Amino acid sequence: MPTEIKGAIEARKALRQFAPDLSKQLQKELSALLRPITAKAKGFIPSTVLSGWSRPLSSEDTINYRAFPKYDYREAVSNIGYKTTPSKPNNKGFRALARIVNYSAAGAIYETAGRLNPNGRTPGPMVLSYKNGVYGTQRASGKQYSQSLNPNAGKQFIDALDATGRIVDAAANTNGPGRRTRKMKGRAIFRAWAEDGGKTNAAVLKAIETSKQNFELVKKGRKAA
């Protein structure tokens, strides 16, 4: 659950520089907290999804955009992990202090496909084309459109994914502090986060706040709690 903690980045830097033992202790605590949810998220990844989703789809017509990645169960599972170090700032300047991530393109598609468009993307409109001196028509391309010749491909794809795991709104199923956004929906990581009910989020916040308090004690020459 995204939760803003003022001064946390500066505190983490100070811990590493002036209190490395406290910094290592915090890293271990965060890892212990995130590890169970990560394992649960991996358990939601299905071994098989669609028989045809086994190789990247690429052709002359799709060369201008990224080919659809193949689905590989082992890759999808192994690429789910956690980070206990601050992330780079996003476009709004926020940085994640601890997070569970999915580095697999196919795994990310499984996680979020249908979150915005439950029935899948629709085929693009027909547009005028010109190639080798010949005018014609073709469907508009772009990531907002389905590139399949089957107008129902998007819905069929989402239905197949839904049959293996439902999309869960972690924001609606989680109590405690944090910002709720529509992006907190998914079939693996967000489902695991939702089933946790906010307990890990609260524990992570407490661990970070405790580390800050302990650092203040160390600066004053007192023993950390």
pLDDT mean across residues, the chain: 81
Determine which of 68-72, 117-121, 181-185, 196-200 has the lowest per-residue pLDDT on average.
181-185
Mean pLDDT of 21-43: 94
- The pLDDT score that the predictor gives to residue 132 is 83
Work out the end-to-end distance of the chain between its first and last CA atoms, rounded to an integer number of angstroms: 27
pLDDT of residue 1: 47
Residue 98 vs residues 9, 63, 153, 205, 206: alpha-carbon distances, Å: 11, 37, 37, 10, 13
Average the pLDDT over 152-180 and give the result. 79
pLDDT given for residue 30 in this prediction: 95
Cα–Cα distance, 79 to 87 (Å, whole number): 17
pLDDT tens digits for 173-194?
555 554 555 678 999 999 999 9
Query: Which of 63 and 90 is assigned the larger pLDDT?
Result: 90
Distance set, CA 40 to CA 80, 159, 166 (Å): 10, 23, 15
Q: What is the pLDDT confidence band of residue 225, given thresholds at 50, 70 and 90?
A: low
Per-residue pLDDT, 194: 92
Q: How confident is the model at residue 118 (pLDDT cuts 50, 70, 90)?
A: confident
At 38 the pLDDT is: 97
Q: Average of pLDDT values for 138-167?
A: 82
The structural domains of the chain, with segments of one domain joined by +, span: 8-219
Residue 58's pLDDT is 45
Residue 35: is its pLDDT beyond 50?
yes
Q: Which residue has the higher pLDDT, 52 or 2?
A: 52
Element (H, E) at 112: helix 105-112
pLDDT digits (tens, 9 = 90+) for 40-89: 999 999 998 877 776 655 444 444 445 678 899 999 999 999 999 888 88
User: pLDDT band at residue 106, thresholds of 50, 70 and 90?
Assistant: very high
